[in-house]
Amino acid sequence: MIKAILIFNNHGKPRLIRFYQYFAEDMQQQIIRETFHLVSKRDDNVCNFLEGGSLIGGSDYKLIYRHYATLYFVFCVDSSESELGILDLIQVFVETLDKCFENVCELDLIFHMDKVHYILQEVVMGGMVLETNMNEIVAQVELQNRMEKSEVQVWASI
Amino acid sequence: MALKIVKGSIDRMFDKNLQDLVRGIRNHKDDEAKYISTCIDEIKQELKQDNIAVKANAVCKLTYLQMLGYDVSWAAFNIVEVMSSSKFTYKRIGYLAASQCFHEGTDVIMLTTNQIRKDLSSPNQYDTGVALTGLSCFVTPDLARDLANDIMTLMSHTKPYIRKKAVLIMYKVFLKYPESLRPAFPRLKEKLEDPDPGVQSAAVNVICELARRNPKNYLSLAPLFFKLMTSSTNNWVLIKIIKLFGALTPLEPRLGKKLIEPLTNLIHSTSAMSLLYECVNTVIAVLISLSSGMPNHSASIQLCVQKLRILIEDSDQNLKYLGLLAMSKILKTHPKSVQSHKDLILQCLDDKDESIRLRALDLLYGMVSKKNLMEIVKKLMLHVDKAEGTTYRDELLTKIIDICSQSNFQYITNFEWYISILVELTRLEGTRHGHLIASQMLDVAIRVKAIRGFAVAQMATLLDNAHLLTGNTQRNGICEVLYAAAWICGEFSEHLEDPMQTLEAMLRPKVATLPGHIQAVYVQNAAKLFATVLRKHDGETESQAAQETSQLLIDRLPLFVQSANLEVQERASCILQLVKYIQKLQQKNVEVAEEVTALFAGELNPVAPKAQKKVPIPEGLDLDAWINEPPSESESEDEKPKAVFAKEEPKHSRSRHTEVDEKELARRREVRKQEQANNPFYIKASPSSQKVYDAPGVEHIPVVQIDLSVPLKVPGMPMSDQYLKLEVERRQKEKAERKKKEKKKKREKRGKERKADSGPESEEDITPAHQVDIVTEEMPENALPSDDDDKDPNDPHKALDIDLDKPLADSEKLPVRTHRPEALKSPAEDRDSESVPQETKKKSGKEKKKDKEKDRKRSKEEKKKKKKHKEVEEELLESQPEEAVQSEETKEAAAPPTSTSAEEVTAPSSAAAAVDTSSAAAPESEPDEPKDTEPEDTKSSKHKKKKQKKEKEEKEKKKKKRHHHHHQHHSDAGGEDSVQNGTVEEEEPLPPMSNYSLLAENSYIKMMKEDADQVYDIQGNHQDESKVVVSVIFENKSDSFLKSMEFNVLDSLNSKLQRPEGAGAHDSLTVPFQLPPGVSNEARFVFSVQSIIMPQKLKGTLTFIVKSDESSTHEKLDFKLHFTCTSYLITTPCYSDAYAKLLESGDLKGSSLRLEGINMPFHHLLARICFHHHFSVVERIDSCASMYSRSIQGHHVCLLVKTSDQTVSIDAKCDEPSLLGNVLDEIKQTFSKC
């Protein structure tokens, strides 16, 4: 199970947070801060797994993260997930973002948090991996966007 | 209206959208909070508008603010409004917001049920998808219950997109509403073979997640997963399956053996590192579960270790990390194969990556031996000095202590060295682990008697240099060691060279800056030191020194008396008064030393940390019972327990208890001694058992003489290094000496033959430098050994520990929304919901039938599947030897033969039958009521063995529920069965027993009746009326379809068939099913019985319609229902003391019975009585047993069964003589039949 997915930038500013277990808002912020603190002090050439995020889960949980340019993508998972599998999944997610936003950058995430959520929803659902095939994910996202557009047109035509 | 819309859209144009909000926040970096609060005000205005677009926009912005940490729960209702918009665009916004901020405590969630249900059934798949995604984040138990059925339907949706989402969300539903697991499981299982890979993957995902927590329930899926593993190419799915197998193998070693080969193939063939890694992991799990008995498993271990080495040597840090992680798993069972890679692991300690260093540390923990401990710890100490971050340094510190103290200081050969290490560790600045070091010091000093002298000297030095440690007390945890130091110096002060000096050190004014609890220890131990000083100067007349000491205390203690800490204050003032008194006596030249020493006489023994928890609850003490009755609501409740207390409490069992306890105590003490004698790590005091020390040459070992004047720090070289050096020297000397001796021996023996010294010395060769007596920690007498201390009672997955192989019952159907209340309940259901009076309406009968039919269809499918899969399973497991199962059986057989033993005797056979029936019986009734079916001889008996584990569980459950069903449905195959079901109490196997008897039979139908053993005592409602449930199995023997079966009984005055409300007294009951040819099914009928002391016979008729292709005829079958007195007895366990008391009470009347010519083993006899007559064994001594049962109306029935040469005599007592007489008659009958 994935317990949380956090995306924040090099300064710890959250760009997307997705908890699959309830935490109150202030607790969420504290988790983000602590996670950022743990992750940010690590060099880029060390391993991508971290134990000891004491706020989430406990000993069974791991932080698995990737660092892309200005953004950290952090997944908090338990031992039922394959570490390398999750790393691949983060890659798939980022590549999907890249396709959907055409050369994704931090600004896309800043201004379109909702869209990023919709894409993530096609990859992970309720803490479990829903789809790992990028083409399938992109296809579903686009179909939904098209539907939204058609609705807007209907709205505009009124 | 039109104006409103226009106004709305104009408003909207001026509203900020999400992008504007984000831009605004970025432009107001200085006063972000203020800006956001104005934005929130705007949002509140927007939410008040009617226009849904405006609302959705506002909600979207709120979602963003939520991410920044703002609580937006106040808008929950508006979110629900947006969710219920008909437009996908807005709906999606609403659901997103809900998924981000709704949780179980959100009250508006209740309002969403219908909206979500509507969305789930929407024709637009994306509406459904969005609802599913949202729901997965905020599903509550209520939502799960109400929507489970809708979601289950979606699992068979035409669109794979919906199917996979529905499958995934089921896991969340199971968690919140565990009752849904069993009904939904068959369909979930189907999805494992879904044509769409995404759906398949989702199903694998969910089942893996379920199986991880309760693996034993999913063992039966192993063949299916095995198939998937060999056929699937999706790495994601493969990884999940392989991980799942890792969880299953510990439960089923045979599975592991099957897995090794395909996994090794995968390891060799795959290019995906993730897959390779998981394969290695699972192979390790398999090897751990097999642990021995596999000829070629060293090859597999080698393969794993070799692959892991490649991973660890890889430049990719991730692989390195995982390699170490997996290595630590191998280490647990095959330390040898890992130890050969020590170099590699030590190398990892130098890695720049902290995660990797921590993993390497973990590995080191398992790699130490007596030989290399000092060396490894030295390396670690170097790292401690180098370590930059405190977290890593603290981790190192705890690891060093862990490594040294593991398994009772097993690897420490020189405790002086260890004490020095601990003292060196106190030099760490800013560590949080002062208390850890302190507890180690205490532990070693208390438990290793030989080291006390040395330890005390070291501690005295520490106390003397306390100022070095207490630089800044506030944030420095290290001053905790002073606590230990002071205590050790005080407690073992007889070893102190100069107690006066230490006493002086402990009373320095600086001490007052230490934390209170440490000061308290200082004060207390100052008193102990005082006693020691006095004793030292005992006998010297007019000792100046002694008086000086008193004066010192009197001078210094007032400082502590003023302490703000109460503990310190209290102790100090007590001791001050004491010393003042002593001083007075001293001035009168009275000898006081002895008295003062007596204050602190006696040794303190170490107590195990779990000791308190392990104190067994004395028999008869119920911790949950009220001490005083709570104020009662109704008087009737109040009365009963009082009576019980009045009867039971006073005279009984007290004396007996203590007697038993003392005996038990002695026995356990003996056992403990035995255990200690056999424990190699317990170094005994008596020289005879010390093999190690008797080795030749030990006497000549130069035991290090400790010069107590050695300063704490040797300049240039840490003290512990000294020991390392000494140790090396010592060992070399030892070796040389041994060699000499060996040589001598060899020369004596053969003269010529000489072998080179064989490599590394073995563990045994290393002798400890000190003869140490490690005192084991004390546990309470007769503590119960148990390992379940660390199970989390709050684990939500506990509720999902559900047996999935039992057939589904009606009552387990997922709740479906209906417009009318269900009517015309079958008697069986009626029984289920007795408390809820239901109106009967005949109208909806049709509807119900449809439902039933559907249900049956489903169950049939399930049946087929099960059969198929069982076959596969058999194939998979057939070829394997069966030792594993055998061992399991013996385990079971070894269960203590207490009162439950009789149940255990009978249960395996019945449970095996229960499992068998599950495949054939239609799942129309209660899940835990095994049903009989037509004999199926083809069933392989092997299969049953496979299910032993589950049986065990079922047994447990049955015991809990206090009603059990013993029957064996094919007695012809019984002999064979029982052999395989294992021996019980190392005696002969039991013959099969059946509780089903033929009721009536004709060419169309056969009726079998089970002893009415599920009995309700409803005394509370009707004073002397009890209910008895009779299970009847209807078996269709003809080639035609049987329907409209009606069951009727001619009521007697005493016994009446329970009919639905409103039905006439002579109306018949419709049997709630139809029977296709060859099928059998079970129905239950409830009877109310007034008096139970006499057996009853009721005449009855079954009418039914036989429908064949050409014609249909109306048929009838008469039968007689026989209620034996036995059937009114409920198996009730009884403790022997309660039993004895019952007999003593004199309320029972006796009767007896003699049976001649019984030649069956005694335990069979008991088992038969237990089984057929619902008794439980209270106590059994040789060929004599006491048994107990209780009737549904609360009569006690006690039996004393004795046997000698084919004669069995039964003395019985009961408070109702006629009941007893009838029961005895029935017992007689049972045995006359065999």
Q: Please give, one letter per residue, the 3-state secondary structure of B779-837.
A: CCCCCCCCCHHHCCCCCHHHHHCCCCCCCCCHHHCCCCCCCCCCCCCCHHHHHHCCCCC
Residue range(s) defining the domain that contains residue A62: 2-156
A8 pLDDT tier (thresholds 50, 70, 90): very high
Sign of the alpha-carbon torsion through B1109, B932, B1001, B1056 = negative
B204 touches chain A (CB under 8 A): no
Amino acid at B1096: Q
B1147 pLDDT tier (thresholds 50, 70, 90): confident
Which of B541, B528, B443 lies closest to B491, judged by CA? B528
Q: Please tell me the distance from the alpha carbon of residue B409 to that of residue B776, in angstroms, as a whole number.
A: 11
| Confidence check: pLDDT of A10 > 90 | yes
How confident is the model over B902-909, as a mean pLDDT?
Answer: 41
| Confidence check: pLDDT of B935 > 50 | no
B274 touches chain A (CB under 8 A): yes
CA distance A71 to chain B (A): 16
Range of lowest pLDDT (A37-41, B619-623, B938-942): B938-942
Whether B119 and B84 have beta carbons less than 8 Å apart is answered as no
CA distance B353 to chain A (A): 5
Whether B448 and B774 have beta carbons less than 8 Å apart is answered as yes
The pLDDT assigned to A5 comes to 94
Q: Please tell me the distance from the alpha carbon of residue B802 to that of residue B691, in angstroms, as a whole number.
A: 52
Sign of the alpha-carbon torsion through B1158, B1159, B1162, B1167 = negative
Q: Compute the radius of gyration of chain B from its Cα atoms.
A: 39
How crowded is residue B913: how many other Cβ atoms within 10 Å of its Cβ?
Answer: 27
Q: Please tell me the distance from the alpha carbon of residue B44 to that of residue A25, in angstroms, as a whole number.
A: 19
| Confidence check: pLDDT of B630 > 90 | no
Residue numbers in A near B236 (CB within 8 A): 85, 129, 132
- Residues A62-73: pLDDT tens digits? 899 999 989 999
Whether B1159 and B1205 have beta carbons less than 8 Å apart is answered as no
Whether B1129 and B1174 have beta carbons less than 8 Å apart is answered as yes
The pLDDT assigned to A54 comes to 64
Query: Total domain count for chain A?
Result: 1
B175 touches chain A (CB under 8 A): no
Which range has the top average pLDDT, B950-954, B959-963, B1153-1157? B1153-1157
Q: Please tell me the distance from the alpha carbon of residue B899 to that of residue B911, in angstroms, as a whole number.
A: 19
Q: Please tell me the distance from the alpha carbon of residue B1126 to that of residue B941, in angstroms, as a whole number.
A: 32
Residue ranges of B 37-76 with Cβ closer than 8 A to chain A: 53, 60, 63-64, 66-71
Q: Which of A110, A130, A143 sits opposite B165 (nearest CB)?
A: A130
* Inter-chain touch A1–B88, beta carbons under 8 Å: no
Look-up of token digits 């509720």: B799
Q: Which residue has the higher pLDDT, B824 or A100?
A: A100
| Confidence check: pLDDT of B903 > 50 | no
Give chain B's end-to-end CA distance (angstroms, integer). Answer: 91
How confident is the model over B251-272, as a mean pLDDT?
Answer: 84
| Confidence check: pLDDT of A17 > 60 | yes
What CATH number does domain B996-1123 carry, 2.60.40.1230, 1.20.1250.20, 3.40.50.10860, 3.30.70.1560?
2.60.40.1230
B993 pLDDT tier (thresholds 50, 70, 90): low
Residue numbers in B near A42 (CB within 8 A): 353-354
Give me the torsion for CA of A132, A135, A138, A139, rounded to 10°.
-120
* Inter-chain touch A47–B137, beta carbons under 8 Å: no
What's phi and psi for B168, nearest 5 deg? -65, -40
Q: Which residue has the higher pLDDT, B589 or B579?
A: B579
B949 pLDDT tier (thresholds 50, 70, 90): very low
Q: Which residue has the higher pLDDT, B439 or B1161?
A: B439
Q: How many residues does chain A have?
A: 158
Alpha carbon distances (Å) from B1019 to B448, B1084, B1090: 64, 21, 11
Q: Which residue has the higher pLDDT, B41 or B654?
A: B41
User: How would DSSP label each residue in B1082-1130?
Assistant: EEEEEEEES--SS-EEEEEEEEEEEE-SS-EEEEEEEEEEEE-SGGGEE
The pLDDT assigned to A11 comes to 92
Q: Please give, one letter per residue, the 3-state secondary structure of B835-849.
A: CCCCCCCCCCHHHHH
Structure tokens given for B215: 């693996």
Contacts of B530 (CB under 8 A, 6+ apart): B503, B549, B550, B553, B579, B596
Whether B653 and B661 have beta carbons less than 8 Å apart is answered as no
Whether B305 and B337 have beta carbons less than 8 Å apart is answered as yes
Strand pairing class (B1069-1070; B1096-1107): unpaired
The pLDDT assigned to A87 comes to 93
| Confidence check: pLDDT of B752 > 50 | no
A143 touches chain B (CB under 8 A): yes
Range of lowest pLDDT (A122-126, B555-559, B1110-1114): B1110-1114
ipTM of the complex: 0.96
B13 pLDDT tier (thresholds 50, 70, 90): low
Q: Compute the radius of gyration of chain A from its Cα atoms.
A: 16
The pLDDT assigned to B100 comes to 92
- Residues B697-750: pLDDT tens digits? 444 444 444 443 433 443 344 566 677 777 777 777 766 776 666 666 555 555
Q: Where are the alpha helices (DSSP H) in B177-252?
A: 181-190, 197-213, 222-231, 235-248
How confident is the model over A95-103, as a mean pLDDT?
Answer: 92
Q: Which of helix, strand or coil describes residue B1000?
A: strand
Give chain A's end-to-end CA distance (angstroms, integer). Answer: 45
- Residues B479-505: pLDDT tens digits? 788 888 899 988 888 888 888 888 888
Amino acid at B246: G
How confident is the model over B137-156, as a mean pLDDT?
Answer: 92
Give me the torsion for CA of A30, A32, A33, A36, rounded to 10°.
160
- Residues B1053-1102: pLDDT tens digits? 788 887 777 777 777 888 877 887 877 777 777 778 888 888 888 888 88
Q: Where are the alpha helices (DSSP H) in B492-565?
A: 499-506, 516-536, 544-561
* Percent of chain B residues past pLDDT 90, beyond the cut: 11
| Confidence check: pLDDT of B158 > 70 | yes
What's phi and psi for B1177, nearest 5 deg? -80, 125
**What are the b/e assignments for B152-186, b being 16+ CB within 10 Å?**
bebbebeebbbbbbbbbbbbbbbbbbbbbbbbbbb
Q: Please tell me the distance from the alpha carbon of residue B397 to that of residue B416, in angstroms, as a whole number.
A: 18
How confident is the model over A113-136, as a mean pLDDT?
Answer: 93
Which of B220, B242, B219 lies closest to B232, judged by CA? B242
Nearest residue in chain A measured CA to CA from B124: A147
Contacts of A137 (CB under 8 A, 6+ apart): A92, A96, A119, A122, A123, A131
Residue numbers in A near B23 (CB within 8 A): 111
Residue A67: strand pairing partners? A72
How confident is the model over B847-873, as a mean pLDDT?
Answer: 51
Q: Which of B87, B202, B208 sits opposite A151 (nearest CB)?
A: B87
How confident is the model over B105-111, as a mean pLDDT?
Answer: 87
Contacts of B1200 (CB under 8 A, 6+ apart): B1184, B1185, B1186, B1187, B1210, B1211, B1212
How confident is the model over B986-990, as a mean pLDDT?
Answer: 47
CATH fold, domain B1128-1232, is TATA-Binding Protein (3.30.310)
- For residue B816, count CB atoms less than 10 angstroms from its CB and return exposed for 0-12, middle for 13-18, buried for 19 or more: exposed
* Inter-chain touch B92–A144, beta carbons under 8 Å: yes
Q: Which of B103, B236, B353 sits opposite A132 (nearest CB)?
A: B236
Which of B1031, B877, B1008 lies closest to B947, judged by CA? B877
Q: Which of B22, B92, B354 sits opposite A110 (nearest CB)?
A: B22
What's phi and psi for A38, nearest 5 deg? -70, -45
A25 touches chain B (CB under 8 A): yes
| Confidence check: pLDDT of B1211 > 80 | yes
* CATH code of residue A37: 3.30.450.60
Q: Please tell me the distance from the alpha carbon of residue B1123 to that of residue B1012, in angstroms, as a whole number.
A: 7
A113 touches chain B (CB under 8 A): yes
Mean pLDDT of chain B: 73
Structure tokens given for B821: 């209340």
- Residues B36-84: pLDDT tens digits? 999 999 999 989 988 888 999 999 999 999 999 999 989 999 999 999 9
A56 pLDDT tier (thresholds 50, 70, 90): low
Structure tokens given for B1040: 């035609």
Which of B1063, B1070, B1077, B1083 lies closest to B1008, judged by CA? B1083
The pLDDT assigned to B690 comes to 36
User: How would DSSP label each residue in B749-780?
Assistant: HTSS------SSPPGGGPPPSS---BPPPB--
How confident is the model over B95-103, as a mean pLDDT?
Answer: 92
Is the pTM for the entire model greater than 0.80?
A: no
Whether B539 and B592 have beta carbons less than 8 Å apart is answered as no
How crowded is residue B662: how many other Cβ atoms within 10 Å of its Cβ?
Answer: 10
Q: Please tell me the distance from the alpha carbon of residue B801 to that of residue B178, in angstroms, as a whole number.
A: 9
* Inter-chain touch A47–B356, beta carbons under 8 Å: yes
* Percent of chain B residues past pLDDT 70, beyond the cut: 68
Q: Please tell me the distance from the alpha carbon of residue B241 to that of residue B238, in angstroms, as a whole number.
A: 5
B237 touches chain A (CB under 8 A): no
Report the phi/psi class of residue A50: left, alpha or beta, with left for phi > 0 and alpha for psi in -120 to 50.
beta
**What are the b/e assignments for B595-620, b being 16+ CB within 10 Å?**
ebbeebeeeeeeeeeeeeebeeeeee
- Residues B998-1055: pLDDT tens digits? 777 777 777 776 654 444 433 333 445 677 777 778 888 888 888 788 888 888 878 8
CA distance A72 to chain B (A): 16
The pLDDT assigned to B823 comes to 41
A·B CB contacts under 8 A: 146
